Structure 1
């Protein structure tokens, strides 16, 4: 049976488990806040449902609580950082703080982050940047069991490799584009599988490379212990974008790329992220940037809505609307996910409520 919890209660429950798994109270609060924010934003795939996998990754040694980002190279506008397998929510925020400070000083910063555990919703880091008036671009690769098939391929060869772009808009809420380069995030298939739902056609292939609507093919082993795979969005275009994220977020950062079968028993998820930060106020185009950006957004939003659509939106607006709604009505956690979270708690001696 599903549960509906208010955000503060859910944060407290998650933080309790993380502390029992070895995190300091501050780290546990940071991670729990990030996960619950993903749920509030409508991205349950990156929310509290990740807790069981995090606990398993800690217990196996692939995720190291209380680790901080390590500076490998600092030339001012270039930063090379190592996440040391710490919680991505923590080392990601630390990396962004360093990068944003350099961008404010030098006008821009290129920042590479290697060996972070699962960074979570990348849009969070873009939101950090736009809150400081900065433009940010993020290219991320995912080292875990390969779950996305290359265009024309019949099995998983790489991860969901997200791309994210944040752009501040003067006097308005920002543009925050955050998307997996697969048709859908892997975590959304986990949620659908836990809820017993099938998904729409065109998202998945099964372990034989054939189209399917059963999300379990990428969640649990199928016949012969094989898995199915997600498809890239937009065919060869999304595939090309995913390869770019792998080469920039994985190879260029030194975090490594997916090029061999992964052990499905390993629960750690390792991310590399290349981030580009720009301070528009130092680019010499601030006035025209603000004017033209708002003019274009207004032009878009003035378009007549298509049948069945309330209004034309820009990236970031759906998440903000969902946050307001879920802060009032609470966050729904499906029954299977809650039982998985309870099982994770018991692994570290915490008994979450039934």
Structure 2
């Protein structure tokens, strides 16, 4: 997401997709790890202070969030994970015990992930996750489209501004956001208030800091909603 955002900061449309090394996602209808989380990102220049950015894993949830849930002792949303026997589970620890993530949207997300694995894997030389010997390396494809070849920047931003207003008026105040808007507002908030972490993550950071003799920074325990 950060890289396609940089492309849009230059007034262009950015597209990126990545086949991740190390299979961890079961394909639609399957129970074995075949696919990576294979994220996809797309960005457009925004009308105001932020660009419109989509950045998502083709799995129901990113593997990192499952790991964080495990550290915090929290359950995960049903439909995100199956255990090593192919049974649905909400226990985050099952991922480390041979379980598999599921693709979002059933066959749609699974199909998108397959094409990303093939395109990004083969064209980058990284190869698809299920047959790669590169370990956990990532193969990434970037594309930048010069919008000015199709529409003036002024026209693009004018239409984007009108469309953004229509989106914001489609529901209750602050209930409908543009892609990237939540992340932009979160960034502004964290620059002032800092980054909140759960007690489990906090303890993990403190343990690592102690192990390597590193200053653990100014961490305070919070309650996670």
TM-score tier, shorter chain, comes to: 0.7 to 0.9
Q: Secondary structure at the match of 2:26?
A: coil
- Decide which of 195, 198, 208 is 2:72's aligned counterpart: 195
Q: Cα offset for 1:185? A: 0.2
- Decide which of 220, 226, 231 is 2:102's aligned counterpart: 231
Between the aligned partners of 1:127 and 1:333, the Cα distance in structure 2 is: 25
Contact 2:209 2:215 in 1 (8 A): yes
**Alignment-derived partner of residue 269 in structure 1:** 136
Between the aligned partners of 2:50 and 2:142, the Cα distance in structure 1 is: 21
Q: Secondary structure at the match of 1:135?
A: strand
**Alignment-derived partner of residue 93 in structure 2:** 216
Q: Secondary structure at the match of 1:157?
A: coil
Superimposed CA distance per residue, residues 20-51 of structure 1 (whole angstroms, 9 cap, x where no aligned partner): xxxxxxxxxxxxxxxxxxxxxxxxxxxxxxxx
**Alignment-derived partner of residue 167 in structure 2:** 300
**Alignment-derived partner of residue 255 in structure 1:** 126
Between the aligned partners of 2:156 and 2:164, the Cα distance in structure 1 is: 12
Q: List aligned pairs for 1:1-354, cutoff 5 A.
A: 123-144=1-22, 146-218=23-95, 220-221=96-97, 227-260=98-131, 269-281=136-148, 283-286=149-152, 287-305=154-172, 310-345=174-209, 349-353=212-216
**Alignment-derived partner of residue 220 in structure 2:** none
Q: Cα offset for 1:172? A: 4.6
What's the TM-score once normalised by structure 2's chain length? 0.85
Q: Cα offset for 1:333? A: 2.9
Greater helix proportion: 1
What's the TM-score once normalised by structure 1's chain length? 0.56
Contact 2:38 2:116 in 1 (8 A): yes
Q: Cα offset for 1:288? A: 4.2
Q: Cα offset for 1:126? A: 1.6
Between the aligned partners of 1:312 and 1:320, the Cα distance in structure 2 is: 14
Q: Secondary structure at the match of 1:327?
A: helix
Q: Cα offset for 1:338? A: 3.9
Shift in alpha-carbon separation, 1:228–1:186, aligned structure 2, 3 A: same
Shift in alpha-carbon separation, 1:335–1:257, aligned structure 2, 3 A: same
Between the aligned partners of 2:207 and 2:186, the Cα distance in structure 1 is: 29
Between the aligned partners of 2:61 and 2:122, the Cα distance in structure 1 is: 24
Number of matched pairs: 216
Contact 2:168 2:174 in 1 (8 A): no
Q: Cα offset for 1:284? A: 3.5
Q: Secondary structure at the match of 2:196?
A: strand
Higher alpha-carbon deviation: 231-240 or 320-329: 320-329
